[in-house]
């Protein structure tokens, strides 16, 4: 499997993220971009901030906005197309995730976010993993508890275009209890640019979030999240419904250990874990 270059390894350790150019090719970008336009017409999980607590999603008949340039935040993408399943261990990106996290991991979440061009969204900054994980930090040499791959489906060329915004090195500092002043324009924030097909890999502990989008077009992204096996997935309530469409490696990443649950499962990995994760993708 591919591993990080020395330069990427240093950047991951010191900045808490790396950018991979051309992680998806142009056919893949066009395919996923068109799929997101279809997905918003279909039932699925979307946020309901006025109805549900922060970060919780409700099953709806379709996205609120049916315009492909409108806002969408859809969770649990795997049922929409085989390609969303195959992105779990996309060559080139998954290799690096395993290099960073080790082989004892699960796939924990998929998400498509379209950040519409609007003057009403100021952006926000956070760490991942809710109340508990925001209080847990990693050191330069620690494997992360969780990390995400974020795929850009369109070019982001200038600031305030819905950019993925990071505070480099912030994965090594405590997240302030009062983070209300932190935003994509706070000193230290870096609004990343990139080309369609680029991917950002980032640690759960990195302060990050979207910038406002004052450009004249929506910013489309896919987010795939991975965690250490003893943590757990949080996109579905038991092993994903698509398990029978998956390769053995994808099934394992979705939590199918190859035997019925027993105490100890997910704590110590199955004996063939390394063979499955490092082995052939099919």
Ligand X SMILES: O=C(O)CCC(=O)C(=O)O
223 is an interface residue for ligand X by CB under 6 A: yes
Q: Which one of 17, 45, 84, 164 is in contact with ligand X (CB under 6 A)?
A: 164
* Stretch of residues binding ligand X (CB under 6 A), selected from 5-13, 44-52, 134-142, 204-212: 204-212
In the sheet where 190-191 sits, what is the strand order? 190-191, 164-166, 208-210
**For the stretch 205-218, what's the b/e string if a residue is b when 16 or more beta carbons lie within 10 angstroms of its beta carbon?**
bbbbbbbbbebeeb
Q: Which of 129, 144, 194, 209 binds ligand X (CB under 6 A)?
A: 209
Any contact of residue 208 with ligand X (CB under 6 A)? Answer: yes
Going by the DSSP 8-state scheme, the letter that residue 213 receives in this structure is B
112 touches 145 (CB < 8 A)? no
Side-by-side strand order, sheet with 72-75 = 17-20, 199-203, 146-152, 219-228, 105-115, 72-75, 44-47, 57-60
Q: Which of residues 80-99 bind ligand X (CB under 6 A)?
A: none
Q: Which is nearer to ligand X, 129 or 252 (CB)?
A: 129
Q: Which of 128, 159, 198, 235 binds ligand X (CB under 6 A)?
A: 128
Handedness of CA 182, 184, 187, 189 (dihedral sign): positive
Smallest distance from ligand X to CB 209, Å: 4
Q: Which stretch binds ligand X (CB under 6 A): 54-62, 76-84, 208-216, 268-276?
A: 208-216
Residue 78 or 277: which CB sits closer to ligand X?
78
Count each helix (H run) and each strand (E run) in the chain, helices first: 7, 11
- Residues forming the site for ligand X (CB under 6 A): 113, 115, 128, 148, 164, 208-210, 223
């Amino acid at each position: 499997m591919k591993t990080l270059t020395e330069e990427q390894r240093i950047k991951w350790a010191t900045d808490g993220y790396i950018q991979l150019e051309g992680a998806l090719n142009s056919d893949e970008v066009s395919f996923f971009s068109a799929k997101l336009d279809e997905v918003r017409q279909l039932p699925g999980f979307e946020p309901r901030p006025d109805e549900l607590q922060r970060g919780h999603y409700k099953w709806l008949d379709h996205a609120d906005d049916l315009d492909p340039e409108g806002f969408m935040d859809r969770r649990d993408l795997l049922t929409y197309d085989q390609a969303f399943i195959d992105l779990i261990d996309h060559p080139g990106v998954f290799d690096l995730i395993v290099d960073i996290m080790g082989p004892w991991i699960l796939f924990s979440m998929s998400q498509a976010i379209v950040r519409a061009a609007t003057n009403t969204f100021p952006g926000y900054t956070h760490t991942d993993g809710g109340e508990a994980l925001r209080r847990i930090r990693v050191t330069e040499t620690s494997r992360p508890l969780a990390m995400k791959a974020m795929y850009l489906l369109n070019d982001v060329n200038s600031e305030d275009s819905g950019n993925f915004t990071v505070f480099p090195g912030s994965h090594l500092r405590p997240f302030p209890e009062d983070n209300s002043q932190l935003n994509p324009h706070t000193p230290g924030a870096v609004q990343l640019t990139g080309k369609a097909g680029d991917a950002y890999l980032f640690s759960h502990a990195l302060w990050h979030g979207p910038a406002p989008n004052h450009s004249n077009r929506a910013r489309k992204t896919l987010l795939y999240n991975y965690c250490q096996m003893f943590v757990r997935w949080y996109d579905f309530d038991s092993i994903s419904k698509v398990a029978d469409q998956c390769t053995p490696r994808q099934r394992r990443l979705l939590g199918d250990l190859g035997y019925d649950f027993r105490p100890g499962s997910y704590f110590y990995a199955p004996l063939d874990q390394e063979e499955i994760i490092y082995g052939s993708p099919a």
